[in-house]
Amino acid sequence: MPSLKGVMTDSESTKLAEYMYSDYGKEPQKVEEKKAVLSEEDKKSAQLVKANEALFNKYCSSCHTTVIGVNESGGELTNVYEAPYAKDVIHKLKAETKTKEAFITFVKEYINEPNKRKSLYGKKAIKDFGLMPSLKGAMTDSEATGLAEYLYNKYDK
């Protein structure tokens, strides 16, 4: 695989490795054990994160995360992108919207109604990938709020 040096900070890569370990390596009983030591509040927020992560995986990640595919020209394995990488989009939008409230409002609106004129991420992405398709009706309003908030917190640094 190509080196991803510099793509994330050391603490981010630690978190990622921990996340992969916990997601793929665990027996169901072990998950239960871990839950038992969490406070009620931690449990609740962990459940929320899981629910929002599931939304992201279901509705967004197919385009907004890297997919390893076969390059058409050379038949080599390469990164294939359907859309700008989620982390880049979130960082840019945070800078543009300034407040968390404005960020959440923008993301929710964009999910329902992608629009060339409203785009904050930029015309270049639209030119490269085409306009994002509307996902109106895919989730409830409160799910969309949760998802937007999750994205805001996920890419905190």
CA torsion sign, 132 to 120 to 85 to 127? positive
In the set 104, 107, 146, 150, which binds ligand HEC (CB under 6 A)?
107
Closest CA to 155 of 95, 109, 105: 95
The strand pairing partners of 78, in sequence order, are: 69
Q: Does 131 bind ligand HEC (CB under 6 A)?
A: yes
Q: Are 83 and 63 in contact (CB under 8 A)?
A: yes
Q: Does 103 bind ligand HEC (CB under 6 A)?
A: no
Q: Which stretch binds ligand HEC (CB under 6 A): 3-11, 18-26, 39-47, 125-133?
A: 125-133
In the set 52, 103, 104, 132, which binds ligand HEC (CB under 6 A)?
132
Size of the site for ligand HEC (CB under 6 A): 25
Q: Does 83 bind ligand HEC (CB under 6 A)?
A: yes
Helices (H), the chain: 10-25, 28-36, 40-59, 61-64, 86-97, 100-112, 123-129, 141-154
Query: Given the rule CB under 6 A, which residues bind ligand HEC?
Result: 59-60, 62-64, 82-84, 89, 93, 107, 110-111, 114, 119-121, 125-126, 129-133, 135
